[in-house]
Amino acid sequence: MRYKWVYLLISSLVLVPGLFSLFKWGFKPSIDFVGGTLMEITNVQCQDAGVAAKVRQIFSENNVDLGTLQSSGEKTCLLRLKTITSEQNEKIIEVLKKEYPPIQQTRFETVGPILGQELLQKTFIAAILAILGILSYVAYAFKNLKFGVSAILALFHDVLVMVGIFSLLGHFWKVEIDTLFVTAVLTTMSFSVHDTIVVFDRIRETLRKNPGGDFETMTNKAVTETMGRSLNNSLTIVFMLLALLLLGGQTTKFFILALLVGTISGTYSSPFVATPILVLWQKWEERKRKLRG
């Protein structure tokens, strides 16, 4: 923990640009949040990566943002996109028919958002309740509130890294957030606490074996002992996500990227954010006890 201020500085260098972007520009919401147009076409193999890429290219060339493109049956595709007019729809269908002559449009309608305001509010309240539950459980399990608070602060760190990076991606590269991004955030919250508890458990075990030992020294020992396990565990996930990111489809590309960012941040925050906060809190308590005499 000798370099704890360096670790916190590294976190700040990642967090500050993301938070600035978040408050300045916010997110670029997808059709899942704002609603749009639902279109269904048949007689085309959209599960074929080449066909899907060509369809997306046609929409892009007509200045239409195509959100999701998924197969909904044999030779049937369901497309969700930003709201377009009937004229734009007819123009795109004509181009698609020239490229894939048997293609037919069977559905064209305007739809509302999947994640409405009320559902988002309920999701936010559920997340807050889950965080309070985690805080209470970790504090109870470790018989000390500072373990729970440190784990939750590391969790906030990981979530803010994710939302900050995606705010920057949305502003500079027009990357949208959708329901899969919400799933990635919730998954990262779970992973972050899971990895932190492993480190904290080793700290508690080390303190039990060395009663009266210096807290920072014991913490260093615990972090060193768990570092290999944490890295090996996380690298298996990172390699799998990298393979999916490079070889997977366009639809899940940014979902995988969000999980990758969350996994790397969660691996970093357990030893280099949660643990330094714990050490600083312990030192603050010791100084307070000395001043009281």
User: In this structure, are residues 139 and 145 in contact, taking their beta carbons and an 8 Å threshold?
Assistant: yes
3-state secondary structure at position 37 = strand
Q: Name which of 115-129, 204-218, 245-259 the model is least confident about.
A: 115-129
User: In this structure, are residues 115 and 239 in contact, taking their beta carbons and an 8 Å threshold?
Assistant: no
Q: Check residue 178 and give its pLDDT.
A: 81
CA-based max dimension of the chain: 87
Rg of the chain in Å (alpha carbons): 24
Q: pLDDT tens-digit profile of 162-184?
A: 999 999 998 998 888 888 888 89
Beta bridge partners of 71: 77
Q: What percent of the chain has pLDDT over 70?
A: 96
pTM of the full predicted structure?
Answer: 0.80
Pairing of strands 104-111, 76-81: unpaired
Structure tokens at 155: 């969790």
Q: What percent of the chain has pLDDT over 90?
A: 22
For residues 149-186, one letter each, b for 16 or more C-beta atoms within 10 angstroms of the residue's C-beta and e for the rest, the string is: bbbbbbbebbbbbbbbbbbbbbbeeebbbbebbbebbb
Distance CA 120, CA 126 (A): 10
Q: Check residue 16 and give its pLDDT.
A: 94
Q: pLDDT tens-digit profile of 198-244?
A: 888 888 898 888 887 888 888 988 889 888 888 888 899 999 999 99
CA 160 from chain center: how many Å?
Answer: 9
Q: Is the pLDDT of residue 140 over 80?
A: yes
User: In this structure, are residues 103 and 55 in contact, taking their beta carbons and an 8 Å threshold?
Assistant: no
Distance CA 15, CA 159 (A): 10
User: In this structure, are residues 218 and 290 in contact, taking their beta carbons and an 8 Å threshold?
Assistant: no
Closest residue by Cα to residue 174 from 78, 66, 259: 66
Looking at this protein, which amino acid is placed at residue 182? V
Q: pLDDT tens-digit profile of 15-46?
A: 999 999 999 998 888 777 777 888 888 888 87
DSSP alpha helix (H) spans, 210-274: 215-247, 253-269
